[in-house]
Structures are given as C-alpha cells and as structure tokens.
C-alpha cells in the first residue's frame, strides 16, 4: 500500500517536491472494521488552502502526514455487517491506495449506469456547489444573464449547464479555445477566452449586451473586476472561489471598482458548500434525472496512478483539466 505525504508547504504554485510518495503498512482488520482499496480520488483547488498553515473553515494539512480528500473505494475485506466485500464507498480518505476503517463518515454508493467517479464530480461536491450557488445563493431566474468564470471546470461546467436549464443567457470565461468549443457544444451562449482577449471587461460587455444579473465567481482578480463593471442594478454575485489568488506569495490588491457594489446595489455572498449539505438529497435527485435524460453532461479529465496525483493537483492551476479532474487508482 502507498500514500502521498505533504513533504513541504508550497510557496506559490505547488511543485512535485512538495509531495512525497511513501509506503503504508496496513493494520489487521478487527471486528467492526473493513479494508478499502481506493479506486478513484479527487484533486480540488481548496486543497491548496489546506497546504498553508493557517486557520480556515477546514484544518490545514500537517507536514509529513498523508493528505486527504474525496475518494471512492471498494471494500476488499470486511468484518463489518453494513459494508460487505464488494461495497463501493465514498470517503475523505483519498491520497492513499488502501486503508482500514470502522466506516465512520463513509457512505455506500448506489448502483448507477455511469462511472462511480462522477460521485467526485457532477454528483458530488463540485456538482452540489454549482447547484447551491445558482439556486440557493444567487437565485438565478429565467431570462436573466449569468456569467461564469473557470467555466469549463468541475463546478463551472455544471453551473453553465444549470444556467441554461433555468432559462438564463449564459456567458462563460475559459483559458483555451478547446474549452470554449466544449462549452459551446453544451449550449452556452457566448464564451470568452480570457487569455487571448485584450480587455476582459470590454469582452464581457460585448458578450452580455444587456449586462450581467448573476456572476458565479470562481476566479477573483480581473474576473471580479470585469463582472463588477458589467453587473446590472440589484445583481447578485455568488462568491464560490478565487483560484487566481490561491498561489499568491504577496497579497493581491482588490479590484479598484468595488464601489460598484454600492452604485449598483449588488448582493455579494460567499458560501461553503458543506454548510448546505442537508440539501444534498434534493440536489442528487434532480441531478440524477438530468444526467439520465442527457440534460446535463459530465466531462472528466482522468490521470492514472497514485504517483500522478500530485501532477493532477498541480494541473488544476495550469488549466490542464476540462470538467472534473480525477485520479484513477486501480
């Protein structure tokens, strides 16, 4: 068995030497426990924040210890009645090939016709984040204009599709022409490649034509500034993430146009998806139906092998993924 440890705290963009692969010896399986072989693990931008030694909504990772995060595994040995051999489970025990557990904070997965890896993406935390940001935070309505940044990613690609299902005009920002073509294929009305436009605010103005009612914020910085310029009166900003700042080594100055919040009477609201988890069943029911009918499509970028998990994680900050970034372990 193997695991990945936090070898050093990243300064700026994480590098391979911040991670270390190490062997792992497994205890014997006692009464009331079971052994899991991980099949898939998730890499997510929020993990970057946990690599910093600071107080936040979630505890930091400890140096020299195994990382953790969302994972899906299969029970391969069991002395636990509720988790027989062959059960597929979700846990927060990623970044390792195997582990022994008493089943605390484990959920058995239902049988679905899609790959179970989608429980790390569209049917899991990122999908739930998109749904929460649009329906519970910004309360997007039919006929409004939605702007989504990091729009081809795990959260963004679902937010764009839910925006279309709600009946909004959807404008997306992405970092490559391939990603733009992907979003167009999903029915997004206009896509901006933020890496090639000379002025993001002008590009958004042109794409939106009649302004933006809801901004689904994943990036921060110049994207937030462009959105503030183009928001309509009483617009809403669902502040989900600010990935452009996660690797900053010096604090970035805020947008110079924050006064637009006053002038346009905006509602700017941050949220953490886990605080909305009581609504997961409602979300899962709706999303399950949309996936079955094809109303929502789920893309994934798959890296293979535990030894490539850190490369996959670093790739999030280089735009290497389209849809959800996952690592296939077995």
Q: How far is the CB of 99 from ligand NDP (least distance, A)?
A: 24
Contact residue for ligand NDP among 18, 87, 129, 138 (CB under 6 A): 129
Contact residue for ligand NDP among 244, 287, 296, 329 (CB under 6 A): 244
CA distance 197 to 264: 26
In angstroms, how far is CA 145 from the centroid of its own chain?
A: 22
Q: For ligand NDP, which stretch binds (CB under 6 A), given 105-113, 173-181, 196-204, 277-285? A: 173-181
| 70 near ligand NDP (CB under 6 A) | no
| 273 near ligand NDP (CB under 6 A) | yes
What six digits make up the tokens of 183? 């979003």
Share in percent of the chain as helix, strand, coil (round to 5): 30, 25, 40
Residue with tokens 């993924």: 321
| 201 near ligand NDP (CB under 6 A) | no
Q: How far is the CB of 81 from ligand NDP (least distance, A)?
A: 34
Q: To which H or E segment does residue 226 belong? A: helix 222-230
DSSP structure string for 24-64: -PPPP--TT-EEEEEEEEE--THHHHHTS-S--SSPPPPTT
Contact residue for ligand NDP among 38, 101, 117, 218 (CB under 6 A): 218
End-to-end CA distance of the chain: 12
How many chain residues bind ligand NDP (CB under 6 A)? 29
Q: How far is the CB of 26 from ligand NDP (least distance, A)?
A: 30
- Interface residues toward ligand NDP, by CB under 6 A: 44-46, 126, 129, 150, 152-156, 174-176, 179, 218-219, 240-241, 243-244, 271-273, 316-317, 319, 321, 325
């Amino acid at each position: 068995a193997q695991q990945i440890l936090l070898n050093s705290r990243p300064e700026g963009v994480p590098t391979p030497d911040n991670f270390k692969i190490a062997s792992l010896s497994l205890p014997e399986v006692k009464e009331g426990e079971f052994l899991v072989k991980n099949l898939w693990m998730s890499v997510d931008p929020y993990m970057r924040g946990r690599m910093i030694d600071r107080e936040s909504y979630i505890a930091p990772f400890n140096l020299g210890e195994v990382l953790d995060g969302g994972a899906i595994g299969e029970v391969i040995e069991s002395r636990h009645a509720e988790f027989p051999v062959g059960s597929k489970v979700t846990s927060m025990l990623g970044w390792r090939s195997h582990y022994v557990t008493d089943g605390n904070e484990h959920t058995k997965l239902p049988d679905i016709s899609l790959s179970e890896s989608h429980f790390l993406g569209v049917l899991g935390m990122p999908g739930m984040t998109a749904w929460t940001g649009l329906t519970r935070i910004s309360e997007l309505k039919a006929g409004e204009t939605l702007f989504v940044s990091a729009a081809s990613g795990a959260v963004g690609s679902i937010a764009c599709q839910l925006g279309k299902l709600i009946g909004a005009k959807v404008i997306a920002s992405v970092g490559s022409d391939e990603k733009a073509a992907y979003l167009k294929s999903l029915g997004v009305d206009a896509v901006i490649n933020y890496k090639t436009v000379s002025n993001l605010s002008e590009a958004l103005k042109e794409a939106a034509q009649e302004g933006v009612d809801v901004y689904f914020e994943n990036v921060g910085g110049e994207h937030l500034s462009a959105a503030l310029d183009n928001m309509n009166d009483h617009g809403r900003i669902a502040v989900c993430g600010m990935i452009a700042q996660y690797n900053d080594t010096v604090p970035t100055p805020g947008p110079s146009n924050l006064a637009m919040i006053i002038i346009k009477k905006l509602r700017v609201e941050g949220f953490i998806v886990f605080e909305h988890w009581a609504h997961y069943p409602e979300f899962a029911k709706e999303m399950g139906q949309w996936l079955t009918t094809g109303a929502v499509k789920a893309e994934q970028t798959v890296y293979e092998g535990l030894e490539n998990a850190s490369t996959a994680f670093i790739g999030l900050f280089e735009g290497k993924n389209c849809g959800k970034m996952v690592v296939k372990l077995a």
